[in-house]
Amino acid sequence: MTSDGPRLPKLAFGALKTATGRSARVGVRALAVVTDRLSLIYHVLVVVLSAAVAASLPLTLTVVAQSLLVYWAVIENEKIVLVGTEVAVALLLILGFGHVKTSWQNRRLAKTAQAAGMVQFSSRHRVLARRRTRKLKARQALMRDIMIIGSTGARTLADPAGDLHVAIHECRTAKIMLLDPESAGAVERARTIDDPAITVERLRDQVGRTIGVLRALGAAQARVRLKLYADPPIWKLAILGDYAWVQHYHPGLDAQALPEFVFVHGQSPTGLYPALYQYFAARWNDPSIPEYNLTTGALIYRDGEGNVIRKERCD
Return the number of other C-beta atoms located less than 10 Å from residue 162's C-beta: 20
Give Cβ neighbours of residue 120 (< 8 Å, ≥ 6 apart): 261, 262
| Best CA proximity match to 207, nearest among 240, 180, 244, 238 | 180
pLDDT of residue 31: 53
Give Cβ neighbours of residue 69 (< 8 Å, ≥ 6 apart): none
pLDDT of residue 33: 54
DSSP H or E stretch at residue 164: none
Return the number of other C-beta atoms located less than 10 Å from residue 63's C-beta: 11
Q: Contact at 8 Å (CB) between 21 and 13? A: no
Q: How far apart are CA 124 and CA 161, in angstroms?
A: 13
pLDDT of residue 240: 94
Q: How far apart are CA 11 and CA 13, in angstroms?
A: 5
| Best CA proximity match to 225, nearest among 158, 172, 156 | 172
| Best CA proximity match to 181, nearest among 299, 286, 48 | 299
Q: Angle 79-116/7-75 helices, nearest 10 degrees?
A: 140
How does pLDDT run along the chain (315 residues), one tens digit per residue? 444 554 544 444 455 455 555 555 655 565 555 566 777 787 788 888 888 888 888 888 888 888 777 776 766 666 776 777 778 888 998 999 889 999 999 888 888 888 888 888 877 666 777 788 888 898 999 999 999 999 999 989 999 988 899 889 889 999 999 999 889 988 888 888 877 878 889 998 999 999 999 988 866 667 899 999 999 998 999 999 999 999 988 877 777 778 889 999 988 888 999 999 999 999 999 999 999 988 888 888 888 777 888 888 766
pLDDT of residue 55: 83
pLDDT of residue 27: 56
Exposed/middle/buried for residue 218 (C-beta within 10 Å: 0-12, 13-18, 19+): exposed
pLDDT of residue 13: 46
Residue type, 162: G
pLDDT of residue 20: 53
Q: Contact at 8 Å (CB) between 260 and 137? A: no
Residue type, 203: L
Instruction: List, in sequence order, every beta strand (DSSP E) within the chain.
Output: 118-122, 145-149, 173-179, 224-229, 235-240, 243-248, 260-264, 291-292, 298-302, 308-313
pLDDT of residue 86: 78
pLDDT of residue 3: 47
Q: State in Å, rounded, how far the first CA of the chain is from the last one.
A: 93
| Best CA proximity match to 226, nearest among 163, 173, 167, 156 | 173
| Best CA proximity match to 228, nearest among 153, 310, 131, 120 | 153
Residue 191 bridge partners (DSSP) = none
In the CATH hierarchy, which fold is given to the domain comprising 118-313?
Answer: Endonuclease; Chain A (3.30.870)
pTM over cut 0.85 = no
